[in-house]
Chain A
Amino acid sequence: MRMAALALKRKQWEPFAFASPSLVLIGFVILFPLAYSFYLSFQNFDLSVGSDYEFVGAKNYTEAIFRDPRFLGSVWNTAVIIAPSLALELLLGLGIAMLLGRVLHGRPIITALLAIPAMVSPVMAAMAWRMMYGVKYGAINNLGRQLGILDVYFDWFSSPVISIVAVVLVEVWHNTPFMMLVLLAGLQSIPQELYDAARVDGANPWQSFWSVTLPLLKFTMMVGVMIRLIDLTKLFGLIFVLTFGGPGGSTETVAFTTYLMGFKDFRMSYAAALSYVIVGGVLILTLVFFWMQRVREARAA
Chain B
Amino acid sequence: MAIALERSVVVTQRLKRHRLWRRVGHALTYLGLAAALVFFLGPFFWIVTTSLKGNEDFFAFPPVWIPVEPSLKHYAALFTRSSGARYFTNSMVLSTLSMIAALVVSLPTAYSIARWRFGGGLLSIFLLVLRMLPAIALIIPIYIVYKFLGMTNNYLGLVVVYTVLYIPFAVWLLVGFLRDFPVEIEEAAMIDGCSRLRALVQVIVPIIAPGMAVVALFAFIATWNEFLFAIVLTGIETKTMMVLVTSFTSGGTDMFYGEASASVVLGVLPAFAVAFMLQRYLVKGLALGGTKG
Assess the A103–B29 pair: CB atoms within 8 A: yes
Contact for B245 among A19, A124, A258, CB less than 8 A: A124
Q: Is the CB of B137 within 8 A of A131?
A: no
Q: Interface size of A by Cβ–Cβ distance < 8 Å?
A: 98
Say whether B242 contacts A121, CB under 8 Å. Answer: yes
Identify which of B6-14, B76-84, B111-119, B208-216 touches chain A: B111-119
- Of A6, A110, A173, A181, which one neighbours B33 at CB under 8 angstroms? A110
Q: Does B221 touch A at the CB level, under 8 Å?
A: yes
Complex contact B134–A255 (CB within 8 A): yes
Q: Decide yes or no: A255 and B118 within 8 Å by CB, A26-B164, A236-B228 being known contacts.
A: no
Contact of B163 with A137 in the complex, beta carbons under 8 Å: no
Judge whether B43 and A99 touch: CB under 8 Å: no
Contacts of B227 in A (CB 8 A): 121-123, 236-237, 240
Contact in complex: A129, B43 (CB < 8 Å): yes
Is the pair B246, A241 in contact by a Cβ cutoff of 8 Å? yes
B98 interface residue (CB < 8 Å to A): no
Q: How far is the CB of B83 from chain A (nearest CB, A)?
A: 18
Q: Is A245 an interface residue when CB atoms closer than 8 A count as contact?
A: no
Q: Tell me the bound Cα distance from A145 to B113 in angstroms.
A: 60
Main secondary structure of the interface of B (DSSP, over half): helix
Q: How far is the CA of A19 from the CA of B279 in the complex (A)?
A: 30
A18 touches B260 (CB 8 A): no
Q: Known A119-B274, A278-B136; judge A135-B167 contact (CB<8 A).
A: no
A250 at the A/B interface (Cβ < 8 Å)? no
Separation of A173 and B40 alpha carbons in the complex (Å) = 6
Q: Is B291 in contact with chain A by the CB < 8 A criterion? A: yes
- Say whether A120 contacts B135, CB under 8 Å: no
A30 touches B109 (CB 8 A): no
Is residue B106 contacting chain A, with contact meaning CB distance below 8 A? yes
Q: With contacts A25-B160, A29-B142, A121-B226 known, what are 20 further pairs, Cβ within 8 A?
A: A15-B112, A21-B105, A23-B109, A25-B167, A30-B164, A95-B32, A99-B29, A110-B33, A111-B279, A116-B40, A119-B274, A121-B224, A123-B267, A142-B63, A145-B61, A173-B39, A236-B227, A278-B137, A282-B132, A286-B132
* 8 interchain pairs, CB-CB under 8 A: A14-B112, A22-B108, A36-B141, A99-B36, A121-B291, A123-B245, A136-B254, A139-B43
Closest 6 CB pairs of A and B: A121-B225, A33-B141, A142-B63, A119-B271, A18-B112, A275-B137
Q: Please report A residues at the B interface, Cβ cutoff 8 Å.
A: 2, 5-6, 9-10, 14-16, 18-19, 21-23, 25-26, 28-30, 33-34, 36-37, 40, 95-96, 99-100, 102-103, 108, 110-124, 127-139, 142-143, 145-146, 155-157, 173, 176-178, 181-182, 184-185, 223, 227, 230-231, 233-234, 236-237, 240-241, 244, 255, 258-259, 262-263, 268, 271-272, 275-276, 278-279, 282, 286
